[in-house]
Amino acid sequence: MWIKKLEIKNFGVFEEATFVFSDKVNLLVGTNDTGKSSILKLIYAVIMAYRERMSERKLYSKPDNVIFGDWFMKVFLPDKLGDLVRKFSFGNQRAEILVETEEFICELSFSRKAEKQMGNVEIDVLSAKERFQPDEIYLVPPFDVVFLDEAVDMLKEYPIFPVYIERLLNAVKVAKRLKPRLSKEIQEIMQGIREKMNGHLTVSDEKFIFRRGQTSFNAKMVADGFRKLGVFDLLLRSNKLRNGTILLVDEPESTLNPEMAVMLVELLYKISIAKNVQIFVSTHDYFVASMFRLKALENKDVPSNALFDLTEKFSRVFSIYYLVKRNAVVVESSPLSVPLGEDNPIVATFVELFEMEKRLNEYEKI
């Protein structure tokens, strides 16, 4: 399934925003509290609700407004659904959401007073299937999920545990039983990552183990970043990243040094191309954003053609949105250049540090 477009109004930090997505890599760049993670969670909640609706469509066990409301509550964990209506807006504003995919168009709305149910749900199924076979979707959070594994059964009983963590852990635990075909490029990148880690993450007796040569030990004994990279390795080996899968990655740079973060960027980019996986990445890291842009600009997977200018060639494999905080968060698309100055505080901070280094170097020469 390919998510084509997202339109939101009065949702979270957004007054109004439109995103048109590539079927390969989509990057959301912004500082804290600009709604990056909210977009990933929104996509996850809508797709999971649609999966449940279509899987039970002959049973009609629950109405659409209950199904979609349930998934928004399980993913965002608000006290009530209405808390997701835009902050600092006045009156009884309504959040409005439109998601367009290859398979369906979904329109949702709810008011600030909504408790657990959507106010309105309209779904137009575009490609009816005789037998519904849902595509997979996974959300990889910025924190270490492997460390939480043994606490899942206890934590999921409390309203502070997002449902996507348990689904992700269950998905990677089947890796040992499968041997999917991986392209040579993906295998080479994974081999490079394993060499840097001097080992790899695996599963034994339903527990995460880190294997280093002939030695195996509890995965909690290695660095957080190694466990994070291991999750992507296991997703590949469990054949969860295949044609039609949607992968949402929140702050991939978290717990990784720049060298390892760049290796993960290369891996994600190749997965999107070789495995036909639609990937969404949120980041506030300049290196990650720049590396994704450069990979798309040097893209050899889309042949050069006189009919395609650079912008069109770029957009076929990549979309990038900068989330800028003003009175409300403003969404700007700038695929071939990086906004500078006050419109991009991430780059501005790097420039400021560079200028400080120059001044210190000049001072030392005196």
Task: Quick: pLDDT tens for 15-35.
Answer: 999 999 988 899 998 888 888
Question: Looking at residue 276, what DSSP letter applies?
Answer: -
Query: Does the model's pTM come out above 0.85?
Result: yes
State mean pLDDT over 346-352.
Answer: 66
Report pLDDT for 328: 64
Task: Quick: pLDDT tens for 293-317.
Answer: 888 777 655 444 433 444 555 556 7
Q: Which candidate, 280, 181, 184, 191, places its Cα nearest to that of 239?
A: 181
Q: What is the mean pLDDT of the chain?
A: 81
pLDDT bucket at 359, cuts 50 / 70 / 90: confident
Pick the CATH number of 3-158+242-365 from 3.40.50.300, 3.65.10.10, 3.40.640.10, 3.90.1150.10: 3.40.50.300
Contact partners, residue 7, CB within 8 Å, separation at least 6 = 17, 18, 19, 96, 97, 98
> What's the start-to-end Cα distance of the chain, in Å?
62
CA angle, 91 then 94 then 99, to 5°: 160
pLDDT bucket at 66, cuts 50 / 70 / 90: very high
Domain limits, the chain: 3-158+242-365
